[in-house]
Structures are given as structure tokens and as C-alpha cells.
A and B are shown apart, each in its own frame.
Chain A
Amino acid sequence: MANFEKIAATPETLVDTARSLKASGFTFLEFMSAVDYIPKNKVEPGANRMDAVYMLWNPATNEQKMIVVPLPRDNPSVPTVMPVWEGANWHEREAHELFGIDIKGHPNLRHLLLAEGWNDTYPLRKDFNVDDVEIDWSAPTSKLAEGNPERVYHFAVQHPGAHGPQGFDLLLDGNTIVDAEARIGYVHRTLEKLGEQRNYYQNILNMERGCIMCGMPYIDVWARAVEELLGVEVPEKAKYLRLIAVELNRLSSHLLWMGPQQGGDFAYMPVAMWAIGDREKVLDLLEALTGGRITFAYIRPGGVRWDIPEGFREMAQKNLRYLESRLPMYEEMMFKEPIVKERLTGLGKLTPEEAIDIGVSGPSLRATGVAHDTRKDAHIPVYEDLGFQIVTQTGGDGWARGMVRLGEMKESIRLILDALDRLPPGNSEADLFNRRAMPWMKVPTGEVYAVTESCRGRLGIHLISDGTSKPYRTKIRGPSFSNMYAVEHILKKGSYLYDIPALIGSMDTCPADMDR
């Protein structure tokens, strides 16, 4: 049983199946991954195979379908689906290095998340033994660096413009970029493997480390995936509190984006510092509500950890009204300032078709004029009750992405204030099981895919339970993974060295989110 439809295919029919599904409206490839079944597994006892899985989404009807390609464990091989969805590129590389699936016809099967010199051991296989790992640290950093290491510019971790441990190897002609290859994986913590080794309760802490700037949607989607398997209905009040917590986190993330990230790209320090200062107000609210400022562990299967604290409503109204009064000023300073506007206009332009094809989501997708927000598409509780409006722009460039985020901040403030006004009475947590026994909680066998809109885009968790207290497989679809691929795609189309920081900044990629 699963909350999506599964379509079986073989390596021979895969590309045709994919083509026909894309033609029937499943234009968005969420992820490509695999599930490893060793004989002693409890999901399908005795199965000895590896399933290559392709999760598809139909944006028009909000249907999910999954292509499942059963493969032999000893020599799994599938053809690439890059001719159908360009965004499959990195997902296939990931499946190649983490599961050892050979992708036929793939242009570049180098390691993406693991170290370049990692030997043929595959961490996400069920029989992986960490003692077998050997790493050749002298391996070249990228395909570009293999040919001409002297000419390659490393715009990566050492560079303040790279926004953290992510970056590119570049070939330049003056300031023009001839070729680019992304280098990510510096903060790859194998969250998916960790997820399989922790129980459902511990995984709350595990999951929210998926993105350090925006952890709340991660635990929100995790809780909803587990609830779906358990068949638990969350109390109405908990739904409102979850919305408040998630939107507060979105506010803090977008403020961080506008200030040090996008403002910092232009060394625009007033905006950078003022936005950081205003973010403090949001963090204070998060601290009052959840006890934490960066990681929260507030949302858990069945509801939220505790009810709204005394005085929170007044504090929220005060801080958010203040923030609301500051936003027009930021709009004036940031998005109407001629120098910034010149830098952002036309920066990293994406067409709607391109964006969907790559799997871009979140504000970057909505900036191309596509009105898809998972909060509305997937009917996340109480968003529609509060009259949630999707913010879109039509430019598809950096400026449009910024305006979308600014609009989302306004929308978030309104949502939180409305949710506080309409907060229903009742429990903040479903009375479903003994709290103290929660770590040993067993979850019924099943498969589920839960999605939400994180601050950066469409965040999904594909969860397979084998009836024990630990999940059998947790696949995280981090939105930044596909968004970063879009950055590489834009750079390859032709860009300039001086545009890279602003480009990475405007896509708002989070290294933790893309590496997992």
C-alpha cells in the first residue's frame, strides 16, 4: 500500500514509459533513487533485488506516480532518463554512487556527494560495511580538472561568494564562463542512511538537520509521513500551531536570504545587517514557541510538543507588525535600488518549461510565472482555510525570485497573524500512545510519500516502513539539490564570473539541504 501509484517497468521499457508519462502530464521528476531489498528484509521477505524508482508529479492534477524498475542486485543497470527530464542528471549520479546502479548513456558519472576517490562501496546498500571504504584523496576534483587543472578556477568552499560549502569548478575566458561543473557534497551526512538506523522518534532530530536555515518544514513533513503510516488524525489546534511554526521559520530563512545572502553578494552591508537584526525578532518568537532558535524538534508525529505559551500571541503580534512595517523599506532599499536592480535583472533567467524540466521548485519556480506552491497543491492543512495566496512573478530572473520571496514574507506574516486569531481550542497533540514508549513505537508496514513546501521549494520524504521501530528506507527530496543543478545549467548556458555569487544567492540553495 502506498499513497501514490506505482508503475512497473524494465530497463528496456523505462525510457518509453517515462516519455508516455511525461506526455500525459507528469512533467516534474521529483527524484530518482533506489530501494535495496536484501533477502532478510521484512518488507518483502526473500526479495533479492534493487528497485530503481522515479517519483513523478503531475503539477496540473497533483497526482504522484512512481516508476519502479526491478533490477538484479549484483549488476544493476538502467538507461539514463536525461533525454526525458534533464533534471535527472544529478539524481542518477547520486543513485550511481550511493547504490551502485550503472546509468547507461549518462554524460558524467563522477561522484557528486561522496569524495572523488571513494572506492566501489555503496553507502545506501543494506549490506554496506564502512570498513570496506577506501578513499584516494589525490583524485581530480572534477571532470574539468582532469584535463587542465592549471586553468580551472575553484569557486568553491574557500570562496566567500560561494555561500557555504558548495561551489563550482570553472573554465573561464576572461570573465566569461566557458564551462562549469558543480562541486557539492561537502556536508553530506548520509541523512538517509542515518534515518534508517534511528527510530521514528530520533528521526525528528535527524530530519530537521536537513537544512539548518529551514528545519521546521523537514520535521513537519516527517511527522506527516509517519502519521499517514500510523493513520493518526492530528488535532485541529496542532495543525494551526504547525503552520505558525513553519511560517515563522520561513520568515527567518527569507530574511537571512535577503540580508547576508543576496545583500552580501553585492557587499550591501546595510541591508545585510538590518535584515539579520530583524531576523532576531523572528528567532525570539521561535524561541518562545519552541524553545530553540535554529533546531526546534517542535513538531512530532501526532501533533506538536507543547501548546502555545503564555503571552506568545501578544509578542508575535508586536514583533510581526514591526517586521511588516519594515518590509516596504527593504523593498525600497533592495529591489528598487538601481544598482541592485541592474545586477538582478536578467540574472540566471529560466523559462517555465526549463524550470519544470530540471525540477526547480519553490520561489525560483514561482518567479517564472508558474503558480505552484506545494502548500496549496498538496492541501497542507489549514493553509487554504486561511486563504493562502500563491505569490508569483513573471520575469524568471533574479529580481523576480527576490520579489517572490518578499511577497512570501508578507504572506507568511499575514498567515501567522490570522492563524493566531483563529487558533481553535483543544489539545495540541493527538492522544495516541504512551509518550514514554514512543522511541519503541512500531509503525505498520507501508510506503508513503509526503511533501511540503520548504523555504526553498518542494520537499518530499519517501518513507518505507517494514513494521519495526525503524524505517526501512527514507529518501529525502531536498529542493536545493535540483535548484543547484539549475545553477549549473544556467552557468553552462553562458554567464560571467562576477554573476556567480548573486546567481547562487538568488537561487537560495542550502548546502545542507542539497547534500543531506
Chain B
Amino acid sequence: MFNYYMALAVLSLKRNVVLTVLMIAAVGVGIGASMTMLTVFRAMAKDPIPNKSYELFAVQIDNWGPRKSFSSNGDNLSEQVSYTDAMALMSIRAAKRQSAMYATGAALTPEDPERRPFRVHARATYADFFPMFSVRFRFGASWTAAEEAERSEVVVIARELNDKVFAGANSVGKTLNLDGHPFRVVGVMEHWEPIPKFYDLNDMYGKSEEMFVPFGRAIENQMPSWGNTNCHDDIGAPGWDGHLRSECVWLQFWAELPTAADAEHYRSVLNNYAADQQRSGRFHWPPNTRVRDVREWLTYQHVVSNEARILVLVSFSFLLVCLLNAMGLMLAKTMGRAGDIGIRRALGANRRAIFSQCLIEAGVVGLAGGCLGLALTALGLVGLRSLLSESVSRLTHLSISEVAIALILSIVATTLAGLYPTWRAAQVQPVWQLKAQ
């Protein structure tokens, strides 16, 4: 009977085109508005590294004390760490993998003299970065421990940079001229772009770096931070060494701690380190440290703002209003068909049959409304792209899952809205037909 009811639904919708268009438009507009906001929200709130988000921890140490704190979270903790603390934690090696890192960059001079040099965004980091963040390689691999220890001039490049400079060929072993230094390519990554860029939220919706250089080499080459550096009122002594010895916070620090016991152990190591700093007279306050996994970190950093949540709520309230309108129209349509329903009842249709027929019709309206809603969502996202920054607008695209959500949401919501008109239809008494003659 499903096919029969589907055919009847299409027939019924064709009978009163104006009412049908109004119903579909009401559902479509509601779905379009809510899905536009939901798509943006989901992109903002999605887990950027779902297979490891509970094993990767951002590390925080309070190296300024309560009087200098600028933390907006009220915990005196900066989102970044100082070079001193980062190097100390790297030497302790209390995690399965760990890495200090910072955003930097260089001018890349192509071998072809016809091509002009261009700026390349880079990240100075340790070899652990790649396995820790599940980065896959197209060619080659990360630099070795020996190369890291020797501070070799090696580089891992992103696939996009490899395409740009080497036309996609295997460039392992080839050399890149970065700020006048020859860096040997040891690995080419597959496309890797976690959104948001959880490991450095200074540019949370920015593109991933085009190349990665060993941390020690970057420091030795005095590659400057292209990220955020906070120094409060203590910028340290002049020069690069002074910057390294200062209490400025400009490095991100991540540790891979696969088990709860690992995390607990790391917390105690971190606290002991801070206690040592207090004892040595560097910190004049009790240990204040924290490790947060990726999920906690994104929440802590307000990656999804309250405004975004409210907008989603408002858009779904609008969907509710649209559905109520659609329900009214469905009710009018149903009552207009009471005659046909009475005939069907007289000819042997029970209430369940009428209920099914009308509910499927509501579902068809939902499906059509969902399709219209998807088109409106696509339009809405185009509109948002013109309003939002380039980095955020990159998020706003309809994926298969969003399409599925829109259609399912539309069908389910419209079917629910159709319950009352459908119930009313099922209450039509067959005798009315006879007595109305």
C-alpha cells in the first residue's frame, strides 16, 4: 500500500497547487534557515581529530602569577607557554609523544629564476607532531631523531606546496631555499587540514601550514613567530636570546597521553615541575597547571561562541513557526478533502489506512520542503560567505551528512506537524458522506 499512498499523495498535492506550494515553501524556508545555521554551527563545533581527541592534551602552565594574569577564563592560565617551560617539558619526556611548536614562515625562492620568491607559512615543531596528530605522508616521512638532534636543515612540506613547487612529483631529497638556507625535503604530507586548527587556535579557522621545520633548526635560524606572542610588561632582554629567556608566552605545547593514568601521571609531573619552579624562586605562587584534551580545549577556548548557539536556537524556533504554518495549511487541505476521505471510509478504509495515507502525504511535503530547504541552505551559505571572513567561510559548505540531516529533519518534522491534520482526517466519519447528499 505504500506505493499506492505515495501515488495518492502526489495526486493530492497536484490537485491544489497553490496550497501545496505554500506548504512546501513554509517547510522549505524553515529548513533553509535552520540548516544554514546548523551547518555553520556543526562546522565550528566538529571534532577536528575524532580518532584521537581524547588522547591529545594541550598543556598550560601559569608562569605569570595571579597579578599579571590576563586570562579571560579566570584561571590565570595562558593558552600558550614560554620557551623556558617548553624546553623543560620537552626534556622531561613524560608523555608518549609531545611537541612544542609555533607558527613561523619564510620566503621561498624557487630554483626557476623566472619564478618570484613567495612567502610560505610554516610550523616549527618536533618529529612527534606527525604521528601525534595522525598526519599521513604522500612521499617520504618525518625527519629522524638524529636529524632532529643535529638540527638538520630538513623540511616536511604539505601536498599543496609540493604541487605548487614540484608539480606534484616526489620531491623527497630535493632542496628548498628558505630565507637563503637550503632545506632538504624529507617528506610530503597528504592533504591535512583539521578544522578548527585546534593545535594553534590563534588562527582557528586558518589553513594548515605549508611546511614544517624542526623546532631546534627554527630556533637556531631565529625564525620569528608568526603567531601570537604575549609578554605582559616583561618583554625580556633585547635580541633573540633575550626573547627565548623571557617569560613571554608564544609556544603551543601538546602531549599525547593515551590513557587516563597517563594523563594523571602527566598532571603530577607538570605540578612537580611548577613546584620546582616555585622552590627555585621563579614562580612566586603555588603550582597552577592544566592539561585539557581536544574537546575540553575547544570548549575552554570558546571555539563555538554562545552567539552561534543562540543563532541556532533562534533558527530552529523559526523552523517551528514555519511548521506550525504548514500544519495549518495541511489542516485546511485535509478538511477540504473530507469528502474523499468519507468515500474511502465508506468503501472500507479503516482509520489506520486514512492515517497512513495522510501521513505519507505529509512526508512527501516534507521531502519536497527538504529539497527546497537544501537549495535555500546553499543560498544562505553563499550569503554567509560574503558576510564572514575567508577563514570561516571555508567551513560553510554542504556535505553529504548535512544533506541527509536536512532531508531527514524536514521529513520527520513535517510528518510530526502533519500528525494533527492526519488525526483529524482519520476522524472523518463515513456516514457524513451519506448524509451530506
**A and B physically associate:** no
Chain A residues near B (Cβ < 8 Å): none
